Amino acid sequence: MACGFRRCIASQLSRVLDLPPENLIKSISAIPVSKKEEIADFQLSVDSLLENRNEHSRSDNQVQAKRLAEKLKCDTVVSEIITGPGTINFKINREVLTKAVLQQVVEDGSKYGLKSELFSGLPQRKIIVEFSSPNVAKKFHVGHLRSTIIGNFIANLKEALGHQVTRINYLGDWGMQFGLLGTGFQLFGYEEKLQSNPLQHLFEVYVQVNKEAADDKNIAKLAREFFQRLELGDMQALSLWQRFRDLSIKEYSQIYKRLGIYFDEYSGESFYHKKSQEVLKLLDSKGLLQKTIKGTAVVDLSGNGDPSSICTVMRSDGTSLYATRDLAAAIDRMDRYNFDTMIYVADKGQQKHFQQLFQMLKIMGYDWAERCQHVPFGVVQGMKTRRGDVTFLEDVLNEIRLKMLQNMASIKTTKELENPQETAERVGLAALIIQDFRGLLLSDYQFSWDRVFQSRGDTGVFLQYTHARLHSLEETFGCGYLNDFNTACLQEPQSVSVLQHLLRFDEVLYRSSQDLQPRHIVSYMLTLRPDFIFSKLSVMS
């Protein structure tokens, strides 16, 4: 990628600096496109070459840049070398740039950017991505949307880069809430309603039993007893729980199909309620388990009784907790997958939980805890439909489809489609994802239906529209002209800007692969000049 230009520059620098080219490649970056003026193509920051950066002033960097630039020479690839504030800028021969970039686009196709020297030498890893993770026996809440689409992005990116990725959906299918739900269904449940609309009915039962338990201590007691029976393997309790789980996964699968998302493994907390007892024994054997006056078991991560560093791992009745089951799951996954990296995609409200989880694994003697990573994200605010605040993801998907159909019907140029509802949902969902991915994942953001469905500007709808137009032109004229083109037709500033932007794609991929932020790729796509591309294609055809 970057058509070997980065390596070519690094080779010349290596001769002057007496450093291996591989040590210099990542210090040479493609310069972002400027709308105001034509710029150079690559830049080297002198600061990146200096060992003691803090000891050098800006004026020192400027002097160093000039001295180094004087030792470099233009050649058939580099047509101009210019110094900037502490930088050396390299301009590529325009004819060479045009031929090389377009040729690489044609040759690499969908792999464009992935064969870059930035990724060469990087070992292929076994990566687990845990994402989505809805709570069983509840309708798919809109709060799980971000985990689902962010986790899918990370898994897709890592897979595209050649890593062996395992996508795990770790369902919330165990815990005290099932004591409440089991008790609630026995008191308030109806078989007919469970068969006709299972998750809606279970949601209603859960709301009702919570309300009753707040006023009736006997119901809370029955719920604790039901969960104890579950943990002890009572067949009647397990049978009811299994039914709730199966019905939930069936409905979730329909949602994932609409989202175009799949998993390699459906796991859950229930898989580890027995293994969590082994975790408790291990913690006890290492002297890490402490009993409280209330009868609960805790781990003091601070070692000095700091209340904020106390993690509860067992209830007073001996039943397991979320943290204990997560410990068991992590240990089991290392045993089964021997992963190099495990990424948990969950909201920022769980940052403390994951910090404690990784810390406990480490003090238990599992050095691989350092391979575990939490990718946190913020909250979406103000997501509403015509009926008010959104609770369920299904409502969001239905609203997307409806609004997009209305948009398509109002545009005169919309073609007649075989399946307008499916098209509307796909375009609308892409628009929703683009809005979500534009900012830092950790940031909360205010949701706006109007902004999602704008057909002009930096929006997902416009990106889809651009893709459709380019695909239509490709179908009409083919790509044969890219094998035989006149570089002289692509030398004006606008053409060069597009070529320069294409040149940067591998760096954008590399940056996203490092910090797992999709905003770099979204920003890159939105910066492309589709209006100009269309005009150039029209002229060339």
Catalytic annotation, residues = 138, 141, 144
CB atoms within 10 A of CB 506: 22
H or E stretch covering 265: strand 265-268
H or E stretch covering 344: strand 341-345
Cβ neighbours of residue 112 closer than 8 Å, sequence gap 6 or more: 1, 104, 105, 505
- Count of residues making up the chain: 541
Please name the residue that has the structure tokens 């350092």. 370
User: What is the chain's Cα-based Rg?
Assistant: 28
CB atoms within 10 A of CB 332: 15
Amino acid identity of 313? V
Cα–Cα separations (whole angstroms), residue 255 to 140, 142, 264: 8, 11, 16
Sign of CA dihedral 218, 220, 224, 226: positive
Cβ neighbours of residue 247 closer than 8 Å, sequence gap 6 or more: 137, 194, 198, 199, 202
CA angle at residue 214 from 209 to 217, to 5 degrees? 95
Distance from chain centroid for Cα 439:
12
Amino acid identity of 140? F
Alpha carbons 493 and 290: distance in angstroms, whole number: 70
Alpha carbons 60 and 56: distance in angstroms, whole number: 6
Alpha carbons 519 and 525: distance in angstroms, whole number: 10
* In contact, 356 and 205? CB cutoff 8 Å: no
Alpha carbons 276 and 260: distance in angstroms, whole number: 34
CB atoms within 10 A of CB 387: 9
Q: Which two tokens stand for residue 259?
A: 């989202």
CA angle at residue 258 from 436 to 382, to 5 degrees? 35
What SS3 state is found at 75? coil
Alpha carbons 357 and 181: distance in angstroms, whole number: 27
**94 burial via Cβ count (<10 Å: 0-12, 13-18, 19+):** middle
Alpha carbons 480 and 127: distance in angstroms, whole number: 39
Provide the CB-side half-sphere exposure for 503 (13 A, CA).
30
Alpha carbons 90 and 503: distance in angstroms, whole number: 13
Alpha carbons 530 and 455: distance in angstroms, whole number: 13
Q: Which two tokens stand for residue 397?
A: 């998907």
* In contact, 3 and 34? CB cutoff 8 Å: no
